[in-house]
Structure 1
Amino acid sequence: MSLLEVKELTKNFGGLAAVSNVDFVIEENELIGLIGPNGAGKTTFFNLLTGVYVPTEGTIELEKDGEKILLNGKAPYKITDLGLARTFQNIRLFKELTVMDNVLIAMHSKKGSNTFHSLFRTPTYYRAEEEMRTKALELLAIFELENKYDVLAKNLPYGEQRRLEIVRALATKPKILFLDEPAAGMNPQETAELTALIRKIQKDFKITVVLIEHDMSLVMNVCERIYVLEYGRLLAHGTPEEIQKNPAVIKAYLGGD
């Protein structure tokens, strides 16, 4: 049984079909790429899967505990609770908060809180808070951000803000992590480091990673399967080798005649 199965997904804005009749399957512990020209519908597709938009047609089904859960129409926070997390093309951090607080907010959203303990600041509350801070530091250490825990997010260099956004997403303990152009704005050294980091995330956290990316060296180096969108429609799907040799993909996106 697939972890996430998308069938005939469509999103219309007025008379424009931003995503049209797309089928997409995600298995456990995969690294999947989603590529295509600007305006192909990639971010809209992510927005549909994570509850930002409601599909016009089609279904999105998540396998959980042997049952299929329909995600259509569920609020983003409910989809996050079910194990789908994401980053954004334009970084969306709480920039006036510290690195630590950005991660703790994500952890609280997953854990929830007991009103009594929170209101009266009982020993149980303080123990839980300390445990979360310890786990947050451990997570930050994986991304070499533990020494920046008290820095305001807005004061981090661009590449570290990207890493913090990934940390915050992982703090929700997702089954699937969607990365929207994680290498955007990065220099070649930062992109190489990100490539290694994405592999490490998928391996160490044992989760599925789906990424939108224009850097083809990154996509071809880390992805096991690749989907290609053009004008909102699925143009091709296959291994990196198959995609690189696909005449339609070469013509539409990879620079062929």
Structure 2
Amino acid sequence: MTLLKVNELTKNFGGLAAVSNVSMELEKGELVGLIGPNGAGKTTFFNLLTGVYVPTEGTIELDMGNGVETLNGKRPDYINGLGLARTFQNIRLFSDQTVIDNVKVAMDREHGNSLVSSLFRTKAFYETEAQMEQAAYDLLEIFDLGAFAKDKAKNLAYGQQRRLEIVRALATDPKILFLDEPAAGMNPNETAELTELIAQIREQFDLTVVLIEHDMSLVMDICERIYVLEYGRLIAEGTPEEIQSNDAVIRAYLGGDE
């Protein structure tokens, strides 16, 4: 079942084509990698899919179960509400808020109180707050962060902050999770734990997962299919074995001879 279909997506910044005629299909439950050299357009592509940028050309279509919705030009919060969540290359936590509050903020769209309940502190307000608190704590526990629930996010170790970003994205109840360089800055032990975590997330939450990553061993270990960008263009798509032996990829990404 094709969950997300991208058709000849293009994004121009002035005379520069950051993404050019890229097409992609994501199936339900897949774990897909997006790789390429620095400046290949990977993060720009994520930004297009999640509403940060509006495409210059092309379409992004999400299967809603009862029809297809085109995401072009929709706000990031609206797209998130449809089930597309992401993390960022640079950690974007609310650093002075507690760990659990970072998660509860993400839950607010789905489980938050009405304006009346919030203003007048009704019984429903306190019941909803208690439910959100418990749900956020339960999610943190799954990822070994429950003990840090009341700590400020900035006091977590780097690897834990990365994990919290993923938890916060999961708190929006996504269908597709986009991870932008989740292993950036991690040591080998943290990267190994992250590899297991991503596989666990896909299985436990029944998600489609797409990740941008420079750590080739992580990508090759867990991704079922890989797309490769160079200068904003798609140059290859296939299984890890096919990508590793692709001449265009070797030249563009792995530094092979011309």
TM-score category (smaller protein): over 0.9
* Corresponding letter in the other structure for 1:137: Y
Q: Deviations over 1:173-231 (max 9, x none)?
A: 00000000000000000000000000000000000000000000000001000000000
* Corresponding letter in the other structure for 1:139: L
Structure 2 contact 111–128 (Cα < 8 Å) conserved: no
1:249 matches 2:249 = yes
SS in 2 for 1:60: strand
- Report the counterpart of residue 211 of structure 1 in structure 2: 211
C-alpha displacement at 1:251, in angstroms? 1.1
C-alpha displacement at 1:129, in angstroms? 0.8
- Report the counterpart of residue 236 of structure 1 in structure 2: 236
Give the number of aligned pairs: 257
- Equivalences for residues 35-54 of structure 1 within 5 A: 35-54=35-54
Distance, in Å, in 1 between the alignment partners of 2:32 and 2:113 is: 34
Q: RMSD of aligned C-alpha atoms?
A: 0.8
Distance, in Å, in 1 between the alignment partners of 2:88 and 2:244 is: 26
| Structure 1 gap ranges (5+) | none
C-alpha displacement at 1:85, in angstroms? 0.2
- Equivalences for residues 71-150 of structure 1 within 5 A: 71-150=71-150
Normalised TM-score (structure 1) = 0.98
C-alpha displacement at 1:118, in angstroms? 1.5
Task: Using the aligned pairs only, state the percent identity.
Answer: 70
* Corresponding letter in the other structure for 2:26: I
- Report the counterpart of residue 201 of structure 1 in structure 2: 201
C-alpha displacement at 1:112, in angstroms? 4.1
Q: Deviations over 1:138-169 (max 9, x none)?
A: 10011110000011111111111100000000
Normalised TM-score (structure 2) = 0.98
Q: Which moved more, 1:152-161 or 1:188-197?
A: 152-161
C-alpha displacement at 1:127, in angstroms? 1.0
Structure 2 contact 28–207 (Cα < 8 Å) conserved: yes
- Equivalences for residues 63-78 of structure 1 within 5 A: 63-78=63-78
Q: Deviations over 1:64-93 (max 9, x none)?
A: 023100000000000000000000000001
- Report the counterpart of residue 221 of structure 1 in structure 2: 221
Distance, in Å, in 2 between the alignment partners of 1:20 and 1:82 is: 25
- Report the counterpart of residue 60 of structure 1 in structure 2: 60
Structure 2 contact 11–17 (Cα < 8 Å) conserved: yes
Distance, in Å, in 1 between the alignment partners of 2:123 and 2:66 is: 38
Distance, in Å, in 2 between the alignment partners of 1:126 and 1:29 is: 36
Structure 2 contact 3–63 (Cα < 8 Å) conserved: yes
| Structure 2 gap ranges (5+) | none
- Report the counterpart of residue 28 of structure 1 in structure 2: 28
Distance, in Å, in 1 between the alignment partners of 2:208 and 2:243 is: 20
Distance, in Å, in 1 between the alignment partners of 2:63 and 2:69 is: 6
* Corresponding letter in the other structure for 2:77: Y
Q: Deviations over 1:8-42 (max 9, x none)?
A: 00000000000000001111011000000000000
Distance, in Å, in 2 between the alignment partners of 1:243 and 1:134 is: 43
Distance, in Å, in 2 between the alignment partners of 1:207 and 1:197 is: 13
SS in 1 for 2:2: coil
C-alpha displacement at 1:111, in angstroms? 2.9
Distance, in Å, in 2 between the alignment partners of 1:202 and 1:43 is: 21
Distance, in Å, in 2 between the alignment partners of 1:111 and 1:142 is: 20
C-alpha displacement at 1:96, in angstroms? 1.0
- Report the counterpart of residue 7 of structure 2 in structure 1: 7
* Corresponding letter in the other structure for 1:202: R
- Report the counterpart of residue 165 of structure 1 in structure 2: 165
